[in-house]
Amino acid sequence: MFDSGFGGLTVARALIDLLPDEDLVYVGDTGRYPYGPRDLGEVRSFAHEIAGHLIADHDVKLIVIACNTASAAALTELQAEMPIPVVGVIEPGVRSLVEATRSGHVGVIGTVGTIGSGAYQAAVAATGHDVTLSCAACPGFVEFVERGETESDQVHVLAERLLAPLREARIDTLLLGCTHYPFLARTISDVMGREVVLVDSADETAFRIRELLAELDIQNPAAIETNLDGHRSVPRHVFESSGDVELFRRLGRSMLGPELDDVRSVTWG
């Protein structure tokens, strides 16, 4: 699994909870973070590099792009080019969105790269559901989360401004199309109104991964067999960061929990 930084840990948490017997390698590309404002072609080349590393150095059986911007930029290409299945966070999130709406007026928020790519608009259209979609890019939200400022007056003012078009569109369901936005859920909900349902892609992505592992019959044997001594083997959780490893360990652990213990440094060629 990879993300531009810490945000994808929300997906990692959901995956560890749903599939506790699976091994996980998480790459947080904090050395090149953030992806949101970057050119999509550049993000696509980062995604290629990390996917290649996961296969060559960790021999993974499935790749999860736990980043909306990287999913928007590279999912289709990686799915076509990688020798193993690749899952993104956009389709699973959209599935939750179209299932949750009652009125059919829905919204998606994300980084400039994600919204500008049109990936959410295409994914919603591909569901065939009769919904009206309003989208808004929210530059600045990620930076507030990174500073740990999730409920300040300043982030509230920014949210009022950025979310105004979605309030006018009278949506009843809003998809948080960026890994960081679940941390702003309270502020977003205050601005949008309590009656607007907020959905995110973490749980739905974990369900999709479980479905796929079962379909392909590639679940970790530890999940279906026990060792000779009758105990299940302990799953391996490896975390890598291309930036400050100690910072990743400290901040990441507060976001993910005790499974985030050992963080290794990863460098790109």
Interface with ligand DGL (CB under 6 A)? 3-5, 7, 33-36, 67-69, 110-111, 114, 142, 178-180
CA distance 176 to 173: 10
Residue 46 has a CB neighbour count (10 Å cut-off) of 22
Catalytically active residues are 67, 178
CA distance 247 to 227: 36
How near is the Cβ of 34 to ligand DGL at its closest, in Å?
3
Q: Closer CB to ligand DGL, residue 9 or residue 133?
A: 9
Q: What is the largest distance, in Å, between two alpha-carbon atoms of the chain?
A: 62
How near is the Cβ of 141 to ligand DGL at its closest, in Å?
9
Task: Map residue 260 onto helix, strand or coil.
Answer: coil
Token pair of 132, please?
């009206």
How near is the Cβ of 207 to ligand DGL at its closest, in Å?
19
156's CB contacts (< 8 A; 6+ apart) are: 187, 190, 191
Q: Closer CB to ligand DGL, residue 3 or residue 259?
A: 3
Q: Is the dihedral of CA 95, 137, 176, 257 positive or negative?
A: positive
Residue of closest CB approach to ligand DGL: 36
Q: Closer CB to ligand DGL, residue 159 or residue 213?
A: 159
How near is the Cβ of 113 to ligand DGL at its closest, in Å?
7
Q: Closer CB to ligand DGL, residue 26 or residue 213?
A: 26
How near is the Cβ of 24 to ligand DGL at its closest, in Å?
17
Q: Angle CA(239)–CA(120)–CA(18) in degrees, nearest 5?
A: 40
Q: Closer CB to ligand DGL, residue 119 or residue 213?
A: 119
Q: Beta-strand (E) ranges in the chain?
A: 2-3, 24-28, 63-64, 86-87, 105-110, 132-137, 173-176, 197-199, 237-241, 263-265
- How many distinct helices (H) and strands (E) make up the chain? 12, 10
